[in-house]
Amino acid sequence: MSDRRFDVVLLGATGFAGGLTAEYLAWHAPVECRWALAGRNTAKLENVRAKLATIDARLSTLDLVPADSTDAGSLRALAEQSRMIASTVGPYALHGEPLVAACADAGTDYLDLTGEPEFVDEMYLRHSETAVASGARLVHACGFDSIPHDVGAYFTVQQLPEGVPLRVRGYVEVSATFSGGTAASALNAFAHPTRTLSAARRRARVDRPDGSRSARVVTGRPHHDRTTGTWALPMPTIDPQIVTRSARAVDRYGPDFRYSHFVGLPHARTAAGLAAGVAGLFAAAQVPPVRRALLSRIPAGTGPSAEKRARSWFRVTFVGEGGGERVVTRVSGGDPGYDETAVMLAESALALAFDDLPATRGQVTTVTAMGDALLARLQAAGMRFEVL
């Protein structure tokens, strides 16, 4: 695809996470990278470009491409002139499919920040086969959902013996605030549990492993974990699904892989309060007027200030066991939802555009598509991967 006009296109740069990703690219994209911003509001894109030009004056002529998630023709034209497109336009269940379809048809690599299991499963069912035929790589969950967990589990597995059954547990600790876009995605995901379950079941019927290796999620129970010193609750996010899909695709995870995913909290009282809060939010999401009222309190496009983000952090501690050995690793960094997510999405885009990667196609995970190259990029960008 070297004859295409752009190496990397960022769709959604006028939003909060998209704007941070654009700034990261302005600082870190290589000189030879032909990149552009895309969106439906040209005036807002021009404002973003003007801000980027204060980082690098050459970006005053950065290309701006009209594209609207409701206009299939504009998305098809965008995909046909791009090697890869990274989208920050969520909630993806509402706005994401037309771009996925356009990229799958055009053989264009696609990245996003979704943490919505229903969307990922539906995109697999509707577009992965087309992407396999065209050569496109469709890579979802390229932010805090789910790169630290996916790449972190991969890093952990690399410290354990090969060719033996492995068990890995991940404990997530976070101090951060969230934007309107994140809130909208979470509430929309909570609002349709039956659709989410239906999509998962339909995918399971067609996305069957060949039987030579096994990888599955073990939910686990609430407990006090001595390794992290936290009270651990099972964390029913998309992350364990992504980790085990990587494990099915990559031989290094061994013949039998099990993964459990927890949120780690400092006190039992905090854990109980979080469980009650999530249950209440889930119940509220089932009532449309209440859901709309909650969303109106955090408008889309807003997010925490730079000062708040500077005080935010995350760490994910992994306990891996197999072949008679035990290892404890940790992935950690700064503000997870925005600053580090911008790093993860941008570095994933640059990896797909420029790195020597395994030959993959269709819907794949970050580890399956980028593996060691992405791990090296994240380490170089300042994210810490440690053996404790």
CB within 8 A of 201, min separation 6: which ones? none
Q: Is the pLDDT of residue 291 over 80?
A: no
Q: Kindly report, residue by residue over 351-369, the tens digit of the pLDDT.
A: 999 999 999 999 999 999 9
The tokens for 80 are: 């046909």
Phi, psi of 372 (to 5 degrees): -60, -35
**Residue 171 to residue 192: CA distance in whole angstroms:** 27
Q: Is the pLDDT reported for residue 183 higher than 70? A: no
User: For residues 203 and 121, is the Cβ–Cβ distance under 8 A?
Assistant: yes
Q: If you write DSSP's letter for every residue of 265-286 in order, what string do you get? A: ESSHHHHHHHHHHHHHHHHHHT
Pairing of strands 214-217, 256-265: parallel
Mean pLDDT of 195-219: 91
**Per-residue pLDDT tens over the stretch 10-56:** 999 999 999 999 999 999 999 999 999 999 999 999 999 999 999 99
Rounded to whole angstroms, the Cα distance separating 97 from 69 reads 8
Other C-beta atoms lying within 10 Å of the C-beta of residue 287: 12
Q: Which of 77, 148, 132, 138 is nearest to 112 (CA)?
A: 138
Residue labelled with tokens 């696609």: 110
From CA 34, how far away is CA 54, in angstroms rounded? Answer: 19
What is the tens place of the pLDDT at every residue in 123-148? 999 999 999 999 999 999 999 999 99
What is the distance between the alpha carbons of residues 183 and 181, in angstroms, rounded to a whole number? 5
What is the rounded average pLDDT of the residues 371-386?
98
Higher pLDDT, 370 or 302: 370
Whether 72 shows a pLDDT value over 80: the answer reads yes
pLDDT, residue 275, reads 67
The pTM score is: 0.93
pLDDT in tens, 222-270: 999 999 999 999 998 899 999 999 999 999 999 999 999 999 998 777 7
Read out DSSP for 59-78? GGG-EEEE--TT-HHHHHHH
Higher pLDDT, 207 or 268: 207
Mean of all residue pLDDT scores within the chain: 92
Task: Specify the pLDDT at position 300.
Answer: 62
E strand map for 163-275: 166-175, 214-217, 223-225, 230-234, 256-265
In angstroms, rounded to a whole number, what is the distance separating the alpha carbons of residues 357 and 370?
Answer: 6
Rounded distance between C-alpha atoms, residue 368 and residue 375, angstroms:
12
Higher pLDDT, 166 or 302: 166
